[in-house]
Amino acid sequence: MSRVIGIIFSSAGYDRAAQGVTGAGRRLADALGLPLQMVVVGGGGGDLAGSLAAVADAVTVLTVTGVADYQPEQTLAALTDLCRGEGAQAVLLGNDTWSQELAPRLAHRLGGSAAGDGVELVIADGRLRVSRSVYGGKAMATIELLRDPAVVWIRARAFDPATAREVPAPIESLEAAPTGEPATFIIERKSEVTGEARLEDAQVIVSGGRGLGGPEPFTDLQDLAGLLGGQTAASRAACDSGWCPPSWQVGQTGRKVAPGLYLAVAIRGASQHLAGISEAKTIAAINNDPDALIFKHCRFGIVEDYRKVLPLLRERLAAMRKE
Amino acid sequence: MIAADIISKRTVTSTASATAQKQKIKVNIVVCLKQILDPEIPSRDFRVDSEKMEAQRGGASLVTNIFCENALETALQFREKFGGRITALIFAPAGGEDSLRKALAMKADAAVHVINDGAAHPDPLAVARVLAAAVRRLGNIDLVMVGRESGDWGVGQTGGLMAEELGIPSVSFVDRLEKQERGLLLHRQTDQGWENVEAQTPLVVTITNDDQNLPRIPKTRDIMLSSRQPIIRWSLEDLAADDAGIDVAEIRAGGGYYRVVDLAIPTKEIVCEMVAGETLEERVDQLADRIMSVVRSL
């Protein structure tokens, strides 16, 4: 009856994060010799459930009567009942807002232990060990969870997707009754995503920092990102200065991104910021300070005032695109 | 007002008198603080102690975690608008008093120090149990505010676990909050943008940063005054005396939730290739070529 449960919030679809959670879940389930049950929260994800059924042993679409997609207290209660009923040995979630909000509370209700931001999961002596970056990315720690079940939210994009099974899993729908009176209620929601995709899914990110000196240059960064088919982001300093929305913030305290190319413009490279880009494949920088810490993490870069570089770079990239 | 909101539903029948009562009673806020190794120390000065499983102190100073200061700032702004009383709370060794003094200088109304004389980094459940017990001991708390995560271990569980220990709801990643007719209106950040959340007290919120809640710099006069203000000090035994949830021996040992089995600095050598060229144009052309070759390989 015991199993590994992966939880996906349906609004995100079967994106890179959902693939990572499922892939990590598959490997953990195999290591433990247990089935993998994927749970879609909020229903509505027709092809999300279908995609999960191709790689999991069971799929449950979980809704709460009267809740469109997510309400913290209601969703938490429904997930607790489900995990308890299925005898969850381990529960995996992504590192989106809702997963991070619920994971510790879910662990507590199940009498288990939680750890977050995991980039590697191993079983040692029957206990789950989670590796994660700490001290703003300056060190890596391995944490052993001492209580069952283990509830872990992972840096989903750091994990490979699962491969398809021969026979797709059955998809089951479960409608939970709401519990008591909701004590919190999301009444309004606004999306400020910079383009089609979420920052976490972007292949190219052009990011600006304190050195930009004001909100105006972000328009140039957006142009540049547009030329490269990418998205725009920012450092904490730029967001705190109100030059761009907080949802653009990349770093330990913002989004953790994993693009193929991260172009840092006028970003010094505080460890706080670097912690958010450790999964980027290639980092490049434009900075007028040759000693800027960002260069220690770059494959290539240019030491120059961004004001001089950006117009020329945009012109050159636009020409190359036409070629 | 807010605590009274809940009580008034059961005990007060007259709406008029309930409203009158609402206006008189203050929101009772606890802001939890954590003291951490200054996260701004450069990587080259950073060392870990792989025996104790913690960073070496070296010459670095201890500071209040930034999100805790964002939480305090948010609380102070709330009090300026809607009234209320703010108690700063810390579970830390003796040196944690510095964070409380700074909170008092920023104009928190009171400070409580639960002395940690055990493991340097108790696990998140041990910390949440201690803080929750202190909140219960203070009594009549409407709102518990904590930072979303710390700048050292970045665990991000204190708020959620405290909510469970206290048996009350919680909302994460809040950057602004207001009092409304009934309860609170919370503005919080999400992956895609933001959400507005209505909530009743008692409540736990975790606070994240935005351009509105940068911690204020205390005035020199207030810093001087803060050094003479009283701080309530409780030992773990004090908390355990009237709280069955506190297992002093387990907390001193670091807790039974998780343990750190390895801590190391990753070795990663990357050499940055600076684009070459006689003129700026040539160098930017090089840069564009490098960028395009990466983009095309994706």
* 3-state DSSP of chain B: CHHHHHHHHHHCCCHHHHHHHHHHCCCEEEEEECEEECCCCCHHHCCEECCCCEECCCCCCEEECHHHHHHHHHHHHHHHHHCCEEEEEEEECHHHHHHHHHHHHCCCCEEEEEECCCCCCCCHHHHHHHHHHHHHHHCCCCEEEEECCCCCCCCCCHHHHHHHHHCCCEEEEEEEEEECCCCEEEEEECCCEEEEEEECCCEEEEECCCCCCCCCCCCHHHHHHHCCCCCEEECHHHHHHCCCCCCHHHHHCCCCCEEEEEEECCCCCCCCEECCCCCHHHHHHHHHHHHHHHHHHC
Predicted confidence pLDDT, tens digits, chain B (298 residues)? 344 333 333 333 344 444 444 444 689 999 999 999 998 888 788 999 988 999 998 889 999 999 999 999 999 999 999 999 999 999 999 999 999 999 999 999 999 999 999 999 999 999 999 999 999 999 999 999 999 999 999 999 999 999 999 999 999 999 999 999 889 999 999 887 899 999 999 999 999 998 899 999 999 999 999 999 999 999 999 999 988 889 999 999 999 999 999 999 987 668 899 998 899 999 999 999 999 999 998 8
Residue A146 contacts B, CB cutoff 8 Å: yes
How far is B76 from B70, CA to CA, in rounded Å?
10
How many residues appear in chain A? 323
pLDDT of residue B223: 96
How far is A257 from A222, CA to CA, in rounded Å?
17
Residue A236 contacts B, CB cutoff 8 Å: yes
Instruction: Mutation target for B interface from A100, A148, A241: give the one with most B CBs within 10 A.
Output: A100
Contact A165, A54 (CB under 8 A): yes
The second-level CATH assignment, the architecture, of A199-322 is 3-Layer(aba) Sandwich (3.40)
Instruction: Please tell me the distance in Å from A159's CA to the nearest CA on chain B.
Output: 18
Which residue type sits at B62? L
Residue A179 contacts B, CB cutoff 8 Å: no
Instruction: Please tell me the distance in Å from A185's CA to the nearest CA on chain B.
Output: 5
Average pLDDT in chain A: 91
Contact B196 A188 (CB under 8 A): yes
pLDDT of residue B20: 42
Contact A232, A207 (CB under 8 A): yes
Contact A183 B168 (CB under 8 A): yes
How confident is the model over A15-43, as pLDDT tens digits?
A: 888 999 999 999 999 999 999 999 999 87
Instruction: Mutation target for A interface from B190, B195, B285, B297: give the one with most A CBs within 10 A.
Output: B190
* Residue extents of the structural domains in chain B: 2-252, 268-298
- Using 50, 70 and 90 to split pLDDT, how confident is the model at A283? very high
pLDDT of residue B75: 98
Contact A134 B154 (CB under 8 A): yes
Range with the poorest average pLDDT among A106-120, A183-197, B39-53, B63-77: A183-197
pLDDT for residue A318 is more than 60: yes
Instruction: Please tell me the distance in Å from A192's CA to the nearest CA on chain B.
Output: 5
B36 strand-pairing partners: B63
Task: Indicate the CATH number of A3-176 among 3.40.50.1580, 3.30.70.270, 3.40.50.620, 3.30.390.50.
Answer: 3.40.50.620
pLDDT of residue B6: 38
pLDDT for residue A143 is more than 80: yes
Residues 67-86 of A with CB under 8 A from B: 72-73
Residue A97, C-beta contacts closer than 8 angstroms, at least 6 positions apart: B172, B173, B189, B190, B191
Contact B175 A246 (CB under 8 A): yes
Instruction: Please tell me the distance in Å from B56's CA to the nearest CA on chain A.
Output: 11
Q: Which one of B190, B280, B288 has the shortest CB-CB distance to A97?
A: B190
Instruction: Please tell me the distance in Å from B270's CA to the nearest CA on chain A.
Output: 6
User: Where in chain A do CATH 3.40.50.620 domains reside?
Assistant: 3-176
- Using 50, 70 and 90 to split pLDDT, how confident is the model at A128? very high
How far CA A257 is from CA of A4, A208, B132, B237, in Å, comes to: 26, 15, 34, 44
Contact B287 A247 (CB under 8 A): no
How confident is the model over A48-100, as pLDDT tens digits?
A: 999 999 999 999 999 999 998 899 999 999 999 999 999 999 999 999 999 99
pLDDT of residue B1: 38
Contact B221, B187 (CB under 8 A): no
Q: Which CATH class is domain B2-252?
A: alpha beta
Record the tokens describing residue B235, joined without a space: 């030992």
Q: Which one of A102, A247, A293 has the shortest CB-CB distance to B193?
A: A247
Contact B261 A143 (CB under 8 A): yes
Residues in chain A within 8 Å Cβ distance of B253: none
Residues A118-154 as b or e (16 or more Cβ within 10 Å = b): bbebeeeeebbbbbbbbbbbbbbbbbbbbbbbbbbbb
DSSP state of A87: T
pLDDT of residue B248: 97
Range with the poorest average pLDDT among A59-73, A143-157, A196-210, B85-99: A196-210
Q: Which one of B175, B258, B288 has the shortest CB-CB distance to A143?
A: B258
pLDDT of residue B192: 79
Contact B273 A192 (CB under 8 A): no
How confident is the model over A297-316, as pLDDT tens digits?
A: 999 999 999 999 999 999 99
Residues in chain A within 8 Å Cβ distance of B284: 302, 309, 312-313, 316
Contact B199 A185 (CB under 8 A): yes
pLDDT of residue A120: 95
How far CA A121 is from CA of A31, A287, B129, B203, in Å, comes to: 10, 37, 27, 33
Q: Kind and range of the H or E element at A124?
A: strand A120-124
Residues in chain A within 8 Å Cβ distance of B172: 97, 100-101
Contact A297 B270 (CB under 8 A): yes
In this prediction, what percent of chain A has a pLDDT beyond 90? Answer: 73
User: Where does residue B140 fall: left (phi above 0), alpha (psi -120 to 50 degrees), or beta otherwise?
Assistant: left
Residues in chain A within 8 Å Cβ distance of B132: none
pLDDT for residue A194 is more than 60: no
How far is B59 from A223, CA to CA, in rounded Å?
44
Residues in chain A within 8 Å Cβ distance of B50: none
pTM comes to: 0.83
User: Where in chain A do CATH 3.40.50.1220 domains reside?
Assistant: 199-322
Instruction: Please tell me the distance in Å from B17's CA to the nearest CA on chain A.
Output: 24
Contact A183 B169 (CB under 8 A): yes
Query: What number is the ipTM of this complex?
Result: 0.86
Residues in chain A within 8 Å Cβ distance of B165: 108
**Cα A83-A88-A92 angle, rounded to 5 deg:** 85
How confident is the model over B255-279, as pLDDT tens digits?
A: 999 999 999 998 766 889 999 889 9
Contact A186 B124 (CB under 8 A): no
Instruction: Mutation target for B interface from A69, A108, A249, A279: give the one with most B CBs within 10 A.
Output: A108
